[in-house]
């Protein structure tokens, strides 16, 4: 049996399960406050996924009123020092893929790619700014720290909510579902940086109850099934490198786009490599 066929077979059940209903239920459970039962769920999760609570600003699992509060826990101030680099990793997790955008095609996995236009919700003018540019797809596993930070300083210009599917975003699904990251629900955040525009796309997934940004709060739910867009006066929302920009309530993926001839990835940034928020990601070309 070929690996590509086995991957497609492995994700087949995801086409059949009621992903929206399952996600809504998971969001309700994660936001509920059940006292000792909530602490029990958190303790099970910590043990099951080997979560390093010594890095948390508050390591006492009994102090978290809901699973969401635990899941989006802040780290203590010294846990993630920022590297002296033009671009730093915005998250803890693993590199799914990174490298050059081939024209307008972003590489997903062997045999799969998708267009920048599809990723950003159909905006051709926005997508054109990243023709032959650079991209990074970063996967956050359940054990990871789930706040998202700025890879470099930026001024927010737009945010677009794009409705979509809620497939899992783990490596097996990335190999088995065509156009996964341009197909799932996502929040597209457009910034202007010192060296030009860049985009950070927060990708939803099965049981990702919601995604939030620091300037808006929770973006979803609601899930109206239509594109929603917000525009911001340039400079009204400016975030420094390493500053928090958003978070996932349950884990997912971040996709970043950079224009051509602006940044280059560190040579050690290769697929499947673990990463930590704040580590050096790349330099200016």
Active site residues: 92, 149, 252
Contact call for residues 53 and 145 (beta carbons, < 8 A)? no
What DSSP element (H or E) covers 274?
strand 274-275
Report the distance separating Cα 76 and Cα 176, nearest Å: 38
d(CA 230, CA 16): 33
Cα separation, 239 vs 237, whole angstroms:
7
Alpha-carbon gap, residue 182 to 171, rounded angstroms = 15
Distances (CA, A) of 78 to 1, 74, 190, 247, 248: 48, 11, 29, 20, 22
Across-strand partners of 98?
Answer: 136
Q: Within its chain, how far is the Cα of 192 from the centroid? A: 19
Spatial separation of the C-alpha atoms in residues 262 and 197, rounded to whole Å:
10
Q: What contacts 24+ positions apart, CB below 8 Å, involve 261-269?
A: 261/285, 262/133, 262/134, 262/195, 262/196, 263/86, 263/87, 263/134, 263/195, 264/134, 265/98, 265/99, 265/134, 265/136, 269/95, 269/98, 269/136
Structure tokens at 22: 């399952």
Cα torsion angle, 276, 164, 73, 283, sign:
positive
């Amino acid at each position: 049996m070929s690996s590509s066929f086995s991957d497609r077979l492995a994700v087949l059940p995801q086409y059949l399960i009621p992903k929206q209903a399952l996600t809504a239920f998971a969001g309700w459970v994660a936001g509920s406050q059940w006292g000792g039962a909530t602490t029990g769920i958190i303790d099970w999760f910590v043990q099951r996924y080997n979560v390093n609570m010594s890095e948390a600003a508050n390591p006492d699992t009994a102090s978290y009123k809901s699973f969401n509060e635990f899941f989006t826990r802040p780290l203590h101030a010294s846990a993630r020092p920022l590297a002296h680099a033009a671009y730093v990793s915005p998250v803890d997790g693993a590199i799914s893929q990174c490298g050059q955008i081939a024209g307008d095609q972003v590489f997903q996995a062997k045999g799969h790619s998708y267009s920048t236009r599809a990723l950003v919700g159909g905006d051709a003018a926005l997508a054109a700014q990243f023709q032959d540019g650079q991209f990074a797809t970063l996967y956050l596993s359940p054990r990871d720290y789930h706040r998202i930070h700025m890879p470099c300083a930026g001024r927010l210009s737009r945010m677009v909510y794009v409705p979509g599917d809620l497939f899992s975003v783990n490596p097996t699904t990335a190999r088995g579902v065509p156009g996964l990251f341009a197909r799932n629900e996502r929040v597209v955040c457009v910034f202007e940086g010192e060296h030009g525009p860049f985009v950070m796309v927060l990708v939803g997934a099965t049981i990702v109850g919601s995604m939030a940004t620091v300037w808006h709060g929770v973006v979803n739910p609601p899930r109206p099934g239509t594109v929603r867009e917000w525009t911001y006066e340039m400079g009204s929302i400016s975030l420094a490198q390493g500053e928090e920009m958003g978070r996932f309530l349950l884990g997912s993926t971040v996709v970043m786009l950079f224009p051509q001839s602006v940044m280059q990835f560190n040579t050690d940034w290769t697929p499947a490599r673990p990463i930590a928020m704040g580590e050096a990601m790349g330099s200016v070309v």
